[in-house]
Amino acid sequence: MSQPHRINGGLTDRTQALHFTFNGKAMQGYAGDTLASALLANGQRLVGRSFKYHRPRGIFSAGSEEPNALVELRRDAHCEPNTRATVAELFDGLEARSQNHRGSLEFDLMAATDLLSPFLSAGFYYKTFMWPKAFWEKFYEPIIRASAGLGRLSGQSDPDFYDKGFLHCDLLVIGAGPAGLAAALAAGRSGARVVLADEDFVLGGRLNAETMQIGGQMGSAWAAAAGGELAAMGNVRLMPRTTVYGAYDHGIFGALERRTDHLADTTGAPRQILWRVYARRSILAAGATERPIAFANNDRPGVMLAGAVRTYANRFGVTPGRRVAVFTNNDDGWRTATDLAGKGVEITAIIDTRKIRPLASIPGVVIMTGAHVTGTAGRKGIKAITLNTGQRIPADCLAVSGGWNPNVHLTCHQRGRPVWDNDISAFVPGGDLPPGMTVAGAANGTLTLAAALKEGHATANAALKSLGFTPSRSQAPVAEDEPRTLEAFWHVRAGRGRAWLDFQNDVTVKDVKLAHQEGFRSVEHLKRYTTLGMATDQGRTANIPALAIMAECTGKTIAETGTTIFRPPYTPVPIGALAGRARGKDFRPYRLTPSHKWASENGATFVETGNWLRAQWFARPGEKGWRDSVDREVRMTRASVGICDVTTLGKIDIQGRDAAEFLNRIYANGFAKLAVGKVRYGLMLREDGIAYDDGTTAHLAENHYVMTTTTANAVLVFRRLEFARQCLWPDLDVHLISATDGWAQFAVAGPNARALLAKLVDAPFDISNEAFPFMACASLSVCGGTPARLFRISFSGELAYEIAVPARFGDAMIRALMAAGKEFDAIPYGTEALGVMRIEKGHAAGNELNGQTTALNLGLGRMVSKKKDCIGNVLSERAELNRPDAVRLVGFKPVDRAESLAAGAHFINRGDPADMDHDQGWMSSVAFSPMLGHSIGLGFISRGHERMGEIVRAVDPIRKREVEVEITSPHFFDPEGERLRV
């Protein structure tokens, strides 16, 4: 359990040892370690296999840009693949496993793929697997998928919890390095509401990785003190472990907070929270990412970014190697050598590509300037490096620095393009930033400490002023600027072997050259042809070197070559976090009818209609299937009385001096003269003349109506009415409010409907046919004083009413209806019986009002009043909609009554081929009619109203069925409507 690579110093807590396993091997680290630092401390250099060639790979970086060290964490359903070891916080009991190998990590059988690399260069998919075409899906793709890849999902449902939330602030500071901390301090002290988010679990950014001082204090100590000051401010919200991954419109940012990923036991708390942050201003202080230099076999475990090597030594007290060499094109790389040497680590060489005077002299170190590393030795870990001089130098760690790229990603999320800065040979934010955003520190190309602190401070003060705050009088923290000169150097031409750019997707310098040679020269084409930058790390360390090589090939500058666009997310966001708590039953809200409790107690089977759960049928003991229940419900309703909860129909309360005129313009048929106490069926058209929705509207009192809509369209119709009221006719005095949920409404249908209701309606209200005829409505009271509304309307074709009471009485009302109905054998019926009865009556419903049919098609052409103006009136007169051969809604019966019909079948004349040219129309609704004893259907067929008695074929090629049907009236049952007017 020793940690051979642990050295003195660092910010880990040596008093708190943590035990973990890697590929089953027990290891130990300390509180404050990442999995990566703990692995390195234990001397574990090989941590994974590359995506395509299964090359051995080691930890490359110390941050979220890590391309190599992807591991699986935890076990079973909790297992999360593709986790970057460099950002995974160590905890006691952590289980980690390497991924993408067959057999052990050390002896991956798939490593043979590497031998095939000459055949697997950029674009090999397109070249190799062209033929035969049918082989792609069944043969090539499964093989490629099996051999290339990342970690594996457990295949089980994710047992963890996720949540979402909303945050609001004056200033969002993204990144808590020196610039971010300086900005947050300035803003916090001024009293502004500040959110400071950082992806790391310790605030300070590179201050924790370097040995620089601020105000005479170690940078890390200053950062800790600054964090303490900020934490004490009530107006500042500190959010460590939080990645701001996207900049969206109107100053809205997406942020992923990892709440319990660093804990062994999450005890049911959300693992991660996806925050939507509303920020009036934002400061991007996301720092910079170091980039490598490409040379042959630069992907061996032990080759690392120079800044990362410093991080491991200074922050974690871990040396990645015993004999460290440095390869750099800038001053920064030298600090890796001096810092590590200062901690007693042997430095074997410093190789600088620049012809400069050495910046440091360390006894016993080979210092070469104007030189290159041309290759490495050591299969599963570097053992030595070779120089262009032919010299071979032993090293088990090579720290490489090619300069730093500002993390400009979030500046580009709204199509802003970064601009090239020759001074630091990197892209810096362009002028076209997301609204309210400014950039400070290394993210802005301000790469030195004192300048970054000053810029953070000044940027915050400028943002505060623009918001009307008075900046505090505090000064920017004082530090010294470190040397940071650089000469661009991208890749070493000499050397044998592949020089790697994108470690995660295995893209080499040669691949970029090949893409250029084959004409894929635009950076966007380069990306897609080679897959450069398309892996989970989004090419954070690979893109700029690859662009530089493409620029070399084309003879252009990097600025002219440009960069691919950055899109959210900055780092991967788990799907679980995007789903949040919306899963399973709670994926969407659900709505319950007032009789839901009673229905559940009485054997109802429920069906989702929109968000509603409605009773579909009520099974009784002995019934063998749903048809038994539905047939019985229809027969018993038509024989005596049935009750159905129709609360789900939309109810819109309409009031105003101009309410009648408003309705007259909304509906295609006339409403101006509807008397108080009367209900009328109404049909709405779309602007283009197609039928939109139908329902009834009751005139309750002067200037007061209540409209019903179909269940499905309740919200849409309300929205449409609001639009008409506010935008089309703002001069009308008309007011709308939804009353759908306010009233529990029940259809009471059947010959005994009146007798049943008579027992509930309070005296002296008279519901006799004479006093309360078909299409009457009234406000009254029931059951000894409960206010109610009664409508004499019928969807079933029976003598029927709809009775509505305030929703709080709905449960009591269904019980009262059933109790009062006992003597009549009253039964509840569900949506299936409702549907059967409406088809028996030829009433159109959603299947008929499907957005393709007109009033004429529906047989309601005469309802469209030509004497008034209404929505859809004019365009309903288009010639094409009024062709003599237009389809008409009619009924269909199978010629052989034993046959069943199927909705969706198309009508073909006898003797015609069954194809689109001979299509006559379609079947829209079908049911078995218990009253007629056979299957019936409603459908649309050309000139249907003129073809009664004709026999056509109902052809259903999908289900391979064909039935001969007779065209009939759509009114199958009680065609004269005698039952409903009694």
* 741 contributes a contact to other proteins by CB under 8 A: yes
Question: 570 to 589, contacts with other proteins by CB under 8 A?
Answer: 581-582, 586, 588-589
Return the number of the residue (164 or 521) whose C-beta is nearest other proteins. 164
**Count of CB atoms within 10 A of residue 325's CB?**
31
Nearest one of 380, 375, 356, 315 to 499, comparing CA atoms: 375
Element (H, E) at 832: helix 831-841
* 524 contributes a contact to other proteins by CB under 8 A: no
Q: Give least dist CB 785 to other proteins, A.
A: 7
- Token pair listed for 871: 């929505």
Q: Judged by CB under 8 A, which of 493, 808, 822, 883 binds other proteins?
A: 808
- Token pair listed for 380: 């599963």
Q: Judged by CB under 8 A, which of 770, 885, 917, 978 binds other proteins?
A: 770
Instruction: Determine the size of the site formed for other proteins (CB under 8 A).
Output: 78
- List, in sequence order, every residue forming a beta bridge with 854; answer none if it has no partner: 690
Question: 837 to 866, contacts with other proteins by CB under 8 A?
Answer: none
Question: 533 to 562, contacts with other proteins by CB under 8 A?
Answer: none
Q: Give least dist CB 656 to other proteins, A.
A: 7
Question: 464 to 503, contacts with other proteins by CB under 8 A?
Answer: none
Q: Which stretch binds other proteins (CB under 8 A): 201-209, 618-626, 728-736, 897-905?
A: 728-736
* 215 contributes a contact to other proteins by CB under 8 A: no
Q: Which stretch binds other proteins (CB under 8 A): 526-534, 558-566, 813-821, 837-845?
A: 813-821
* 315 contributes a contact to other proteins by CB under 8 A: no
* 24 contributes a contact to other proteins by CB under 8 A: no
* 735 contributes a contact to other proteins by CB under 8 A: yes
Question: 606 to 635, contacts with other proteins by CB under 8 A?
Answer: 611-612
Q: Which stretch binds other proteins (CB under 8 A): 6-14, 122-130, 467-475, 784-792?
A: 784-792
Exposed, middle or buried: residue 902 (CB in 10 Å: 0-12, 13-18, 19+)? Answer: middle
Phi, psi (5° rounding) for residue 167?
-130, 150
Return the number of the residue (730 or 851) whose C-beta is nearest other proteins. 730
Q: Which stretch binds other proteins (CB under 8 A): 163-171, 208-216, 241-249, 939-947?
A: 163-171
Question: 414 to 453, contacts with other proteins by CB under 8 A?
Answer: none
- List, in sequence order, every residue forming a beta bridge with 835; answer none if it has no partner: none
Q: Judged by CB under 8 A, which of 13, 106, 480, 766 binds other proteins?
A: 766
Are 93 and 35 a contacting pair, CB within 8 Å?
A: no
Q: Which stretch binds other proteins (CB under 8 A): 373-381, 470-478, 782-790, 960-968?
A: 782-790
Exposed, middle or buried: residue 521 (CB in 10 Å: 0-12, 13-18, 19+)? Answer: middle
x/- mask, other proteins, residues 814-833, rule CB under 8 A, reads: --x--xx-------------
Residues 6+ apart with CB under 8 A from 412: 418, 565, 566, 567
Give the Cα separation of 848 and 888 in Å (integer): 11
Return the number of the residue (356 or 737) whose C-beta is nearest other proteins. 737
Task: Tally the residues of the chain.
Answer: 982
Listing DSSP states for 403-420 in one string gives -EEE--GGGGTTS---EE
In the 8-state DSSP scheme, what is residue 172?
Answer: E
Are 406 and 288 a contacting pair, CB within 8 Å?
A: yes
Measured CA distances, 800 to 264, 320, 465, 590, 795 (Å): 64, 84, 70, 29, 8
Q: Judged by CB under 8 A, which of 24, 118, 621, 784 binds other proteins?
A: 784
β-strand pairing of 591-592 with 612-618: parallel
Give the Cα separation of 78 and 64 in Å (integer): 22
Listing DSSP states for 175-231 in one string gives --SHHHHHHHHHHHHHT--EEEE-SSSSTTGGGGTS--EETTEEHHHHHHHHHHHHH
Question: 235 to 274, contacts with other proteins by CB under 8 A?
Answer: 268-270, 273
* 783 contributes a contact to other proteins by CB under 8 A: yes
In the three-class reduction of DSSP (H, G, I as helix; E, B as strand; rest coil), residue 674 is classed as coil
* 661 contributes a contact to other proteins by CB under 8 A: no
Give the Cα separation of 820 and 818 in Å (integer): 6
Give the Cα separation of 191 and 832 in Å (integer): 63
* 812 contributes a contact to other proteins by CB under 8 A: yes
- Token pair listed for 934: 């056979």
Q: Give least dist CB 608 to other proteins, A.
A: 13
* 732 contributes a contact to other proteins by CB under 8 A: yes
Are 252 and 282 a contacting pair, CB within 8 Å?
A: no
Are 886 and 942 a contacting pair, CB within 8 Å?
A: yes
* 742 contributes a contact to other proteins by CB under 8 A: yes
Measured CA distances, 18 to 29, 32, 34, 36, 80 (Å): 5, 10, 11, 14, 20
Q: Give least dist CB 193 to other proteins, A.
A: 7
- Token pair listed for 959: 């289900």
Return the number of the residue (815 or 918) whose C-beta is nearest other proteins. 815
- Token pair listed for 629: 């229940």
Nearest one of 330, 239, 307, 396 to 86, comparing CA atoms: 307
Question: 702 to 721, contacts with other proteins by CB under 8 A?
Answer: 703-704
Give the Cα separation of 755 and 822 in Å (integer): 12
* 591 contributes a contact to other proteins by CB under 8 A: yes
* 593 contributes a contact to other proteins by CB under 8 A: yes
Q: Which stretch binds other proteins (CB under 8 A): 389-397, 653-661, 884-892, 935-943?
A: 653-661
Are 930 and 939 a contacting pair, CB within 8 Å?
A: no
Q: Judged by CB under 8 A, which of 497, 656, 670, 861 binds other proteins?
A: 656
Q: Judged by CB under 8 A, which of 762, 915, 946, 964 binds other proteins?
A: 762
- Token pair listed for 168: 């609001």
Q: Give least dist CB 749 to other proteins, A.
A: 16
Return the number of the residue (17 or 737) whose C-beta is nearest other proteins. 737
* 701 contributes a contact to other proteins by CB under 8 A: no
- List, in sequence order, every residue forming a beta bridge with 22; answer none if it has no partner: 25, 96
Phi, psi (5° rounding) for residue 116?
-90, 5
x/- mask, other proteins, residues 358-387, rule CB under 8 A, reads: ------------------------------
Q: Give least dist CB 741 to other proteins, A.
A: 5
Are 599 and 828 a contacting pair, CB within 8 Å?
A: yes
Q: Give least dist CB 585 to other proteins, A.
A: 9
Nearest one of 89, 482, 86 to 312, comparing CA atoms: 86
Phi, psi (5° rounding) for residue 424?
-110, 5
Q: Give least dist CB 613 to other proteins, A.
A: 10
Give the Cα separation of 945 and 968 in Å (integer): 9
Q: Give least dist CB 594 to other proteins, A.
A: 8
Q: Judged by CB under 8 A, which of 316, 743, 801, 892 binds other proteins?
A: 743
Return the number of the residue (489 or 746) whose C-beta is nearest other proteins. 746
Q: Which stretch binds other proteins (CB under 8 A): 87-95, 207-215, 340-348, 779-787?
A: 779-787
Q: Which stretch binds other proteins (CB under 8 A): 3-11, 672-680, 725-733, 862-870?
A: 725-733
Return the number of the residue (186 or 613) whose C-beta is nearest other proteins. 613
Q: Give least dist CB 181 to other proteins, A.
A: 24
Return the number of the residue (536 or 655) whose C-beta is nearest other proteins. 655
H helix and E strand count, the chain: 21, 50
Q: Judged by CB under 8 A, which of 653, 912, 966, 974 binds other proteins?
A: 653
Return the number of the residue (118 or 764) whose C-beta is nearest other proteins. 764
